[in-house]
Structures are given as C-alpha cells and as structure tokens.
Amino acid sequence: MLQKPRGTRDFLPEEMEQRRSIEQRMREVARRWGYREVCTPDFEHLELFTMKSGEGIIQEMYVFEDKSGRKMTLRPEVTAAVLRMYVNEGRVLPKPIRWCYFADCFRYERPQKGRYRQFWQFGAELIGADTALAEAEVIMLADDILRSTGVAFDLHVGHLAPMKHILSGLDPADQGVIMACLDKHDREGLEAALAARRLTHLAEPLAALSDCSSVEEVFEVAGDVPERARIEEMFAILDSQEIRYRPDFGIARGLDYYTGTVFEGFARNLGAENQILGGGAYRLAHLFGGDDVASCGFAIGFDRVMVSLGGVELPHESVVGVVCTPGARGRALQVARAFREAGIRAEADLMERGLAAQVAHAAKTAEFVVIIGEREVEAGTVTLKDLRTGEQQEMGLEDAIAGVAGHGHR
C-alpha cells in the first residue's frame, strides 16, 4: 500500500473545515486592514532564493531541473516571491502596497511536531512606506490576526540597530558569525565565538539586550544608536494602541535579510517549537531588478497555530438526508436541490437502499430526514422527521426548509 510522502499530511473533512474556518478569520482581519490577497507560483527559479541567502540554503529546499535544464525549486517561503512579483507587476501601483497571502511552502528538513516538509503560511507585506507608523501597522496587523484565531501567544518586538551598534567595530565576517549565534539562541556557540575572537567583553551587553524591560534601558546598554528617535516613535505608537508585547532587542532573526524592526510571536502551550510568527523590515526588491523600496512584513506558521489551538469549534450546520421510494426519486432530487439553494446541506441516497435502510444511514450524519413517497409526490408535500426526537410531520416544502433553517440558527 502506497503511503503519503514523509513530512506531508492528509486532511480529512472535519480537520479541513477547521483549517478553513481559521483561514477565513485571518483573511477577514487582513481585509479590514486593507491588505488584498495575492498568489505566486508554487515553484520559482532557484536564484530567487539563493541570491540573498546563498547556496547553502539549497540543501534545505526541493530543487530540480525542468526539461529545459533550468534550475527550479518549490518555494521555501513566500516573501521573496511576493517581492519578485512586485518588481514584475507592481512597481507602477500607488504606494504603499498592502498585500497578503495564504500559501503552502516546501522545505526538505527533518519532520517533527509542528514542522513539516509541506507547510502553510499566512503572511502580509507592506511595500513602499518607510516610516515608523508603517512598521507599527504591520506589527498591529500581525497581532490582530493572531488574536482572531484564538491562539494564546506572546509577542516580542525589537530592532536590530542596538545590536548592530554594539558590534559596529567588528569585521563583517565576525559580525555575521556572532549574530548567527544570536539568531539561533545558541549561547554556547556565542560564548565560543566571542572567546575565539577575544571579544568576551561583548557578552554582557549582548545578553543585556534580551533582558531590557523598556526601550529606555536598551539605549543605556547600547549607547548612542543613530535610529533611536525612529525606534522610540514606533514603540510609542504600539503603546498608544495598547498592543501587548515584550521589548526584545535580542531578536536577531535573519540578519542578512532584515534591516531594522523585527518581531516574533510564540504560542504559550507549545514546547521548543513554539514560534508561530516572524517578521520585520527589509529591502529585497533591488536584488530582483527593482527599486530599493522599503518593505515590512511577516509570516504566520499556520500549522503550528492549528497545533496550538488543538481543536476548533465550528458553527452549527444542520444536515438533511433526503430519502425516497423508487417512484419518487425525481421529486427527491428536486427537493434536495431546493434545500441546497436555501443554503442547507442536503444528501440524497445513491445506493438504491430500501426506505428504512436509507433513514438508518442518514441518521449517521444528519439531524433531519425528508421522506418522499408516492403520497407526498401526489400531495406536493414532504414528510420532515427530526432524528433527535423522532417527531415527524407532513408539510409543504417551503415550511420544511424554514423549519430546518430555523433549527440551524439556534
């Protein structure tokens, strides 16, 4: 028996309905903020991702050659693809551009709980606004979207400038090694890297960045940071809107990618793999032949959100089973269609069972059955049976639809 590929999943109807329900909540929040949904190809030219991250990323990707020998890859993330689309299609659009997306991505890595080779991201990108207010909006949008799902999370917000200021006198290669350790929260690796470079005096201020409880404390640690006024403005906006967050200037995510503001979200009930949100300010468009436009965005790990939620209570939906005698089949199909046109889920028998067997089968999934025999056909009526109470009554089709619809909205 063939199995699904490692690191992928099958979703049965109940789970898919839960996922779609949360998707819709996220989409609706993004819509209210003015972010319109876009879609990019599932596969892109490999160069799109190696141009910024280097060849080392290839081992984490699904890479292949097409029939013309072009190197392609299944997308490992969506931001680069969205900025490529901006360069191709969107440079003439009025700015700022507010785009969002929901997409599956692919990474060749060891599968574990909440981490799969095929996974889904909900993300947003704000392109063309280089202000503290723009970056604050993206953070507030991410917070609003996560709250809409019902997940319990903690939001951390920081900025790379203080960390870069502390490391400003170092060789770029040394900066990269140290910040990579910070990005991975690798304290042992950080200590070793600092010791090897005789930079142990930096251990204390770097550690202090993560422990600061306010923006003011950060500047006491980092000193005269050039971006101070803008950083203070952005945090003041978040405070004015009563956004709950923790200042965290120890965030060093994707340092070859992000340029300033960075933020992360963590689910409270997950273990080590608890990050469900990551984002920040960046500049990518110029790498793909576009202008050096300021951008800010984020991606939410949809699968981890679903793991954190555990289960999702779906809106009640009444289900009707339409059963009939052989001579009433044509009328039964018309009745089923009338229920569907009224927005009610209706299932007709397809197995040519006897009437009693049809009712017994309908009782496994439906709350009501609509019975149609020769008498109902002649009278232009239906018999509606409530499977929970056993009560049934012959009535007109419109009354039956109204009765079921009324039950569904209780």
Residues flagged as binding site: 77-79, 107, 121, 125, 253, 257-258
From the list 83, 91, 283, 67, the residue with the least C-alpha distance to 75 is 83
Annotated binding site for L-histidine: 77-79, 107, 121, 125, 253, 257-258
Residues 6+ apart with CB under 8 A from 297: 79, 82, 123, 124, 125, 126, 138, 279, 280, 282
> 314, exposed or middle or buried, with CB in 10 Å at 0-12, 13-18, 19+?
exposed
Facing residues of 64 across strands? 72
Sequence-ordered alpha helix ranges (H) in 346-396: 355-362, 374-379
Strand 319-324 and strand 118-127: the pairing is unpaired
Residues 6+ apart with CB under 8 A from 58: 46, 50
Contact present, 382 and 334 (Cβ < 8 Å): no
CA–CA dist 348, 329 (Å, integer): 9
The backbone torsions φ and ψ at residue 392, rounded to the nearest 5 degrees and listed phi first, read -145, 155
Neighbours of 28 (CB within 10 A): 11
Neighbours of 11 (CB within 10 A): 11
* Maximum C-alpha span of the chain: 95
Buried b (16+ CB within 10 A) or exposed e, 249-286: bbbbbbbeebbbbbbbbbbeebeeebbbbbbbbbbbbe
Enter the tokens of residue 348: 């007709």
Neighbours of 303 (CB within 10 A): 20
Enter the tokens of residue 43: 């596969």
